[in-house]
Structure 1
Amino acid sequence: MRIPSFSMHRRASIAGMLMVCSFLAPACAAWADDDPESLDIMERQMEHLQQQQMALQNDLMAMRQQIARHRAQMGGSSAATGHPLQVTGSGGHVRGGWVPSEGHATAMSVAGTGAEMETRGRMPHIGGRSAPATFEPVDQPTLESVVAHREEDLISHMANNNVGPHNRETVGAQSAGALGSKVFHLGPVSIILGGFFDAAALVENRQVSSGIFNYWNAIPFRDSSNFHTTNFNGDARYSRFSLMARGQLNPHLTVAGFVETDFGASAETTNPYESNSYVPRLRQAYLTLDDSRANTHFLIGQAWTMLTPDRVGIVPRQESLPETIESSILAGQTWSRQWQVRIVKDYLQHRLWTGLSIENPATIYDTTGFGDDLGNGEYALPNGGYAKIGSNGVGLSSATTNYSNEIAPDVIGKLAWDPHWGHYEVEGVVHFPHDRSVINGVGENHTAVAWGVGGSMILPVIPHRLEVRLAGLTGRGIGRYGSVLLPDATLRANGAPALLSSAQTTAGVIAHPNKMLDVYGYFGMQRSGRSYFDEGGNAYGYGNPLADNTGCMTEGSDLNTAALGGCTANIRSVEEFTIGAWYRFIHGQYGTVQAGTQLAYSRVHTWGGMGGAPTTSLSEIFFDFRYLPFQ
């Protein structure tokens, strides 16, 4: 059979395009694994393929029409059979192929940023005398398909810094929100799933009822019986699920939505004796808009704060987070997950990144010496008035949580540099603690200006095998951006915020001896300054030398202060040393199963007061099993 108006040269051109695509798919996968810089090349190749693909679609549709007319003229259909041809959706998803009378089967799968093409069949002989291909049209479109394993984010160009994007199977990537390696399609929208099933446990030498979430402020001193008892706890509440939907608006503009949740929240009805009914909580939920032509990236929603150290560029889900099991991450780690509006631009072939973020504010106050809460965030001042630092939640907010008064969002700026070796960044934040005082019936608002500066670096000592991570942040009034959650401020005599100096740092060595094993060691530290005053024989403020610490070393004084002394014990610093490893003992088409263990030692130092500066410590052993079905 001869197809009218289609020369052998034309058919050879189409077949050649498909053959090029078939060889390109495995090459793309290898490039993404070995050389992150090639992502830029891949993106240009795929944009070119998209244009060719649309032209190919037009040719294929024209061929179908000519075949239909030819069959009508011949009064029958070809006896040859082959795989059907399917053209699906406006995004250009093509599936199908053809089978000539001779030849060998060839499979091809190409995954692009906006359009995916998958063709299976036999390639015709080019330039020979083999019979021409025959086609069998199919009218039913394919609305959903799995195309291939590939990198999740080709839309974000990255320079090769010998650090590279996260390996999905590492726990640092999982903490940041890594997605799976398979892409599902619903018409022109791509769906990528992520998450894992988690079963963790720990043994600790103190009773701290926070599970695998380390709450360092609650580590008991010797005055508490909790100091003298060990504790075991296991749960699955940090099992996680995530989803991203992504659409290609045009060859250069991509929109995506990402959501991530686990069961880390605790309702009033949650109990550890029967149901352990922990409730879902929102970890991340945001929208992104990426323009690969202008090299600009927009994000709005709840995500890791831009102060969190990154691994490459300033890219969502590429935050540099420790591989620890503990869900509170590491003492001294800079992080928060909160609402934000972020704009990022990269320069110099994606090596220089600048970012500006407007983020949701919050202030942690310490009210030592100011007496009990008078109600709804009001604390008594020494002159008879009170300071209003927040309000209890109403409506759909938690009625047992006091939300701080805030006058403006936090403003964060970051500069990141990705040379050929390592990742380096500097950042800064400005925060505006705000409260109101009422003294002798006269009210007054107070606003302070808190600030912080910091930076981080990743040094690939042996690229992709051994790296050193360093990070730090220092300033005044920024304690909440550290894992320990030390206070940002206390109060002055007139009720105005008194900012506390703050510093936090982490250092880590991470090794990947092979694809199955990750080994790590970290040190983290966070510390707080002090601010205080004395009036009427009473001590007010954080770290006051007149604070009562006389009972911190006597068990039972936490319940009988009058007889045995008190234990104010304002924390000066918290240090943590930890080592651990993860082993992926199952890794295949059904996902990854890994096990981890971690040893951690934390030590708490306090500001000196009457009775000295007591210290305490916590030793822990963590165990964890995870199944990652999408990795």
Structure 2
Amino acid sequence: MRIINCGLMLGILAACSGQAHADDNVTTEIHSLKAKLKELQQRVDSEARKTRQGEAQAKAVQLPASYKALAADPCAAGKVCYKGVTLTFGGWVDLTGVYRSRNLASDTGSVYNFIPYQQSRNFNIPETRFSARQSRFSVLAEGNADADTHLAGYGEIDFEGAAQTASSVATNSFNPRMRQLSLELDRSDLGLHFLAGQSWSLNAPTKSGIDPRGVDAPGVIDFESVPGFLAARQPGLRVWQDIGPEFKLAASVENAQTAFFGGNVPAVGTPAIGPQGVLNPNLQVNLTGPGGSFFNNLNNVGLNQVPDVTVKAAWDPRLGPYKLHVEGWALYRQLSDRFNNANHTYDTGSFGGHIFAELIPKTLDLQLYGSHGVLGRFTATPFPDAAVAQDGTILPLTITAAAVGLIWHATPSLDVYSYAGLEKAKANFANVGTVPFGYGNPLYNNTGCFTENSAGATCNGNTREVRQITAGIYDTIYQGNFGTLKAGLQYSYTQRFAFAGVGGAPKTDDNVVMTQIRYYPF
């Protein structure tokens, strides 16, 4: 019996020992599984963070709307696709009617610096004309080289060219001219963009971001736009960087040219020699009669040695339903001439800015323009960039320009607009004895500016300031499957003021009425 009891006791002890060992193994496995689960959770959390960061970076990079549409539908309605390239056609057929109270002998662009004084017969002669030369054609070719690289080529022409064969007497054979022709490269992963070719200058205003092809110009019919709006189309190189979804920084180098004032004239009582007759014969400000490099040999080419350099910042803050665009720019230009067998240069700096704002969403828009510096060739007047003294000293002309516009979208099809603008020059001159040089010199002879066809009298009348008020309407007559038909009517009143000289300070004005019919087939 004792033997049996001992055996039972040993069996019970062995069973209990085995059960304890099994429980230890289960506990160990549970701890191991928990550790692996924790490690797996950490990996999932890490991948989720990376995904969120990638989505945030993708949102920060704003691609042009055309690229977004291209990604969504590589051949959307209204586009043509060829070998992976999407073509978008644009442009319009235009007929503009012009009436001016003063005869500028100009087409659809009113050159405000040519508004005649009372001395000219044209002061008392109005002009009326029709023109189809604002008709325009454009094509945008775009494609994706890879997931992050986008390419776009853009070309645009109108018929504002006027070669020697152009004539409005019989055939009205005005020739096409290149407006824009450029290549754009966008890297969406870097938020970096490049442009090469001819486009609007970087100091031209835009409506959002850094727009390589568009410009936020006053919506007027007059091809010369509104005083205070500065712009040019130039060949050059541009680069810009997205800094988040709202801020952009850009820089460009562009083709340089200088418009020198050629009106250095003798004082009252001195012989009436030609405009350059009193300049030192050893002075050269332009390369005249080029033509060996495909330039028209009747045009002058500036002696520029370095390109224009522009930097620009653009900000598009998010303000709920309101759109706001603010930009500012700075421009470096170098003016050059040659005198007494030596080159001379003058470095200049200019600055400006632009605001586009929706005061009432989809109803009332505001445009503001402002600039200051050596900007003559960019102005609507246009002003010269500089004059010269007899010893070759460059006399740069400082321009102050500003404009404001309100656009009321009265109905979905009708816009009503109004603008006011001015451009003003600061005189810069020098004298050699009694012979005046420069621009706005008070010794210049203005005695003949006030009487029509005044015999033997002179009217120099250097423009000091141009002011304008403009108002108009633009209506969409038809919009549907066959395109869009629009029509507009505009009135502008422009004043031209001259610097005071011997005999006084002449001034003149012009009343201009324009009409326009445009058909947009694309």
TM-score, L = length of structure 1: 0.69
Measure how far apart 1:392 and its partner are: 2.2
Q: Residue in 2 aligned with 1:147?
A: 76
Q: Distance in 1 between matches of 2:424 and 2:452?
A: 26
Q: Residue in 1 aligned with 2:417?
A: 520
Q: Residue in 1 aligned with 2:372?
A: 474
Measure how far apart 1:332 and its partner are: 1.6
Q: What amino acid is the match of 2:325?
A: H
After superposition, the C-alpha distances for 1:210-269 in whole angstroms (9 at most, x for unaligned) are 111111111110001100011101010111000011111012211111000011011112
| 2:158 counterpart of 1:262 | yes
Do 1:487 and 1:528's aligned partners in 2 also have CA atoms closer than 8 Å?
A: no
Q: Which contiguous aligned blocks of 4+ residues in structure 1 show a shift greater than 4 angstroms?
A: 38-44, 378-384
Do 1:412 and 1:429's aligned partners in 2 also have CA atoms closer than 8 Å?
A: yes
| Among 73, 79, 83, the residue aligned to 1:187 | 83
TM-score, L = length of structure 2: 0.83
Measure how far apart 1:334 and its partner are: 1.0
Q: Distance in 2 between matches of 1:399 and 1:452?
A: 31
| 2:246 counterpart of 1:329 | no
Measure how far apart 1:586 and its partner are: 0.4
Do 2:405 and 2:420's aligned partners in 1 also have CA atoms closer than 8 Å?
A: yes
| 2:491 counterpart of 1:596 | no
Q: Distance in 2 between matches of 1:383 and 1:624?
A: 49
| 2:206 counterpart of 1:307 | no
| 2:317 counterpart of 1:425 | no
Do 2:201 and 2:254's aligned partners in 1 also have CA atoms closer than 8 Å?
A: yes
Q: Residue in 2 aligned with 1:490?
A: 387
After superposition, the C-alpha distances for 1:384-403 in whole angstroms (9 at most, x for unaligned) are 64334333231321111111
State the identity as a percent: 31
Measure how far apart 1:42 and its partner are: 10
> Structure 1 residues 590 and 499, CA, compared in 2 at 3 Å: closer, same or farther?
same
| Among 209, 220, 225, the residue aligned to 2:121 | 225
After superposition, the C-alpha distances for 1:476-497 in whole angstroms (9 at most, x for unaligned) are x221111112011100231131
Q: Distance in 1 between matches of 2:115 and 2:493?
A: 12
RCO (CA 8 Å, sep 6+): is it higher in 1 or 2?
2
Measure how far apart 1:383 and its partner are: 5.5
Alignment root-mean-square deviation, CA: 2.3
Q: Residue in 1 aligned with 2:468?
A: 576
Q: Residue in 1 aligned with 2:440?
A: 543
Q: Residue in 1 aligned with 2:38?
A: none
| 2:281 counterpart of 1:389 | no
* Greater Rg by CA: 2
Q: Residue in 1 aligned with 2:70?
A: 113
Q: Residue in 2 aligned with 1:416?
A: 314
Q: What amino acid is the match of 1:539?
A: P
Do 2:417 and 2:471's aligned partners in 1 also have CA atoms closer than 8 Å?
A: yes
Q: Distance in 1 between matches of 2:424 and 2:178?
A: 29
Structure 2: gaps spanning 5 or more residues: 1-57, 267-274
Do 1:545 and 1:608's aligned partners in 2 also have CA atoms closer than 8 Å?
A: yes
Q: Distance in 2 between matches of 1:115 and 1:459?
A: 30
| Among 315, 318, 342, the residue aligned to 1:444 | 342
> Structure 1 residues 252 and 208, CA, compared in 2 at 3 Å: closer, same or farther?
same
Q: Residue in 2 aligned with 1:93?
A: none
Secondary structure of the equivalent of 1:217?
Answer: helix
Measure how far apart 1:457 and its partner are: 0.8
Q: Distance in 1 between matches of 2:392 and 2:167?
A: 39
Q: What amino acid is the match of 1:357?
A: S
Q: Distance in 2 between matches of 1:545 and 1:41?
A: 56
After superposition, the C-alpha distances for 1:463-511 in whole angstroms (9 at most, x for unaligned) are 2221111111101x22111111201110023113111111111100011
Measure how far apart 1:355 and its partner are: 0.3
Secondary structure of the equivalent of 1:578?
Answer: strand
| 2:337 counterpart of 1:435 | yes
Q: Distance in 1 between matches of 2:353 and 2:92?
A: 31
Do 1:390 and 1:435's aligned partners in 2 also have CA atoms closer than 8 Å?
A: no
Q: Distance in 1 between matches of 2:239 and 2:104?
A: 40
Q: Residue in 2 aligned with 1:272?
A: 168
Q: Residue in 2 aligned with 1:285?
A: 181
After superposition, the C-alpha distances for 1:503-535 in whole angstroms (9 at most, x for unaligned) are 111100011122211111001111111111222
| Among 236, 260, 263, the residue aligned to 1:368 | 263
